[in-house]
Structures are given as C-alpha cells and as structure tokens.
Amino acid sequence: MDKTYEWEVANLPLELQFILDCLKPDADPAVIGRRWAGSRLSGEKLIELARHHRVYPSLYLKLKQLAKPVLPKSVLLTLQQDYYANTLMMLRLSAEMQRVVTALAERGIRSLQLKGPVIAHELYGDISQRTSKDLDILVPIEDVDRAEAVLEELGYYDRDPAPRLFNDLKWKTHHSCFEHTVNRTQIELHWRLSPDAVKETSFEQLWAQRRIYEQTGSPIPYLGPEHLFHYLVSHGARHGWFRLRWLHDIAQLASACEDGGESLVEETRRSGGAAAIGQALVLARELFGVKPPRALLPLTASPLAHRLVRCIFPFIQETVTISPIPEQKKMALLYKRYTFMLLTSREKLTHFIGKLYPSAWDAQTLPLPKRLHFLYFPLRPFLYFYRRLKQPRKRVSI
C-alpha cells in the first residue's frame, strides 16, 4: 500500500476493511481468520455494507472458508440467503438474456452484452458470484428504433419515455431503460458506451473483437478483453466507484492480465481514458492489494489520476449513493467537481455545447408544435433552470 493513502484506508469503517481483506484475489482464509480473531465487528453493519456495495456473494463464499468464524452465525445465514436469492436472480437474467438476444438476432440486429451474467462468468467463473439488477445491451445506433420495437414485442415498456427532439436522445444520452410488464426484468438498451465521450470505439470495432458466451446454449456476443476493461473503468469512474463491486471487477481483471497490460495500453492510446484507468488501478491496489499490470504502471503515476482517487474516498467512507447525484449538498458539489475533472478538454467543450442544445426534456416541460421547435433554442436556458427549480431529483438504483 502507498503510504499516501494510509489515512484514507484507515478511516474506512472497520467492517468495510474486513470485507476488503476478504475480497482480495489472493486472500488466504486462514490468515484472515487469525488477523481478525477477537475483533469487534458489527454483524449488522457488515451486512449493510456488503449489500450497499453489492459484494455479498463473494464475501459469503469467502466467509464459509474461514476455519474459525469471526462473526456470529446469524450473519453468515443472512449472507447465505442473499447469495441464494442472487443466484436465482442471475439464472433468471441469463434466461431472459438468451431470449432477448435471440429475438434481436432473428431480426438481423447485432447486439453486445456489456455486463450481467456474461461478465459474472467471465470475471468469477460463476454467475452466482456477482450481482446484477438488469441487462445492459449495446446495439448499433442505426438499429435503436428497431431494437426498441423488438423489446416492446417481448413485453417491455420504456420506463421513461420522452419525445425525441432533434434526435437528441441518440447523441446527448447513451441508453434507454426498459422494464418487462410481467416479470419486472430491466434492460438498459445502449447505443453508446458512455454519455460524454467524444472519442469512443465504434460498434463495428467492438463487434470485430467480440467474444462469444455459450453457457446458455446459444451464442451470446460480448465485449473483447480490452474493450470490457475500458467499459468497466469508464462506468465505475463515472459513478464515483460508490459501489465497490465495480472496483472488485477491476481487481479481478487486473490480477488476471496475461500480457503485462500491453494490449490495454494500445487500446488506451486509441480510445483515451488514461486518467480514469490510472485511478481505477490505484484504487484496486490500495483497496484490494492488486499490483497493476506492468505496462500500465505509468498511468498510476499521473497527478490527475491521484486527484481523482482522493475525490472518491469520501463517497466510500460515508457510504454515499450516487443515483444520479448524492442527496447531501456537500457530496453533490464534490461529485459534480469530480465528474468535471474526469472529462478531457474536448469533452468539456462538448458538454457545454450540449447544455445549449435543446433536449427531449424541454419538449416535455413545454410542448410545442413541430413547426415551432426552433423556439427551443432560445428557450433552452429558461426551461433548464425551471426544471432544476421545480422538479424533484430523480433517483434510480444502480
């Protein structure tokens, strides 16, 4: 551990330090048992943190291996119940993933899985060891309308429908959220990997380097190793790593890197995101004890990467939920500064221009006939601030 972050790690809740110790890729149950024997851990707090960070499946399996329990039996029983419930959830998502991907393919729509059961199996070798609340599916931007129609045929509805003004949803946002009317399965239909990126790998490039998951009985395309690493880093960094499950994923990927990180360096040169990758690797090292791949070590020395690391420790220490921004005003301001730091100069410019361009939310706030849509440009600032003042903050579960 870098002494620079000793104070931050030491100030994490004791129960969270224990969880992190258990989840290190090289964690030895015998060593953990001896190290934490006699410690005054709160079982209730530990369960709360394991659920918040969505790491209870891996934690439960590790605690089962301890020769001498360091927690009450009731804690292990609760985590066992959560583990079984998650296993059923992942099996249900696997079946639905196969159904949806097959339906898309039958209509000639290519799709790539971004997370979900496929990634759980890729990272942990077992879908039960990672949690997922929905399916994230990427399609080519030109096929978005057709893919949405397929989802509707399968019984899904758009959870947040909005009029498409100047085609804004396809370039100002990156996904739509759908939910099944009967089984309540949720799907995020993506046409881009992230909302603000100026430089992003095209779908054709992602498709050319795709891998195939065959555990469900039919082929399920998903991201190649380098693209998966970049996507998981981008997603976790964008959400301030407030769930340690995302960093646990990065720790698994980094510890299994076979070529010293050379291929990741090449992909970083093409698609950017060096600061976020440096941040993720520093956090994986400090919290999970994972040594960064050799070729990526220079990224961990970046001053910007370390500033980004310091920004997110308050979110972890205070168990902050960012969905879409923290409720506490102080944390909300910190998060806004942090996300702005993540953007490159070009992305910041694009972000500001995007604020001036009308959106579907403007059409919802003040519906106008199509012949008057040009008025949304001068009205945009007023409508934006009206929504900020009048509408309650929207919360979603991530």
pLDDT tens sequence across 283-317: 999 999 999 988 999 999 999 999 999 999 999 99
Q: Is 317 exposed, middle or buried (0-12, 13-18, 19+ CB in 10 A)?
A: middle
What's the whole-number mean pLDDT along residues 244-261?
A: 87
Q: How far apart are CA 281 and CA 102, in angstroms?
A: 36
Given pLDDT bands bounded at 50, 70 and 90, which one contains residue 345?
A: confident
SS (H, E, C) 84-147: HHHHHHHHHHHHHHHHHHHHHHHCCCCCEECCHHHHHHHHHCCHHHCCCCEEEEECCHHHHHHH
Taking domain 92-223, whether its CATH number is 3.40.50.300 is answered by no
Boundaries of every domain in the chain? 92-223, 358-390
Given pLDDT bands bounded at 50, 70 and 90, which one contains residue 256?
A: confident
DSSP-based three-state secondary structure for 239: coil
- 68 pLDDT higher than 80: no
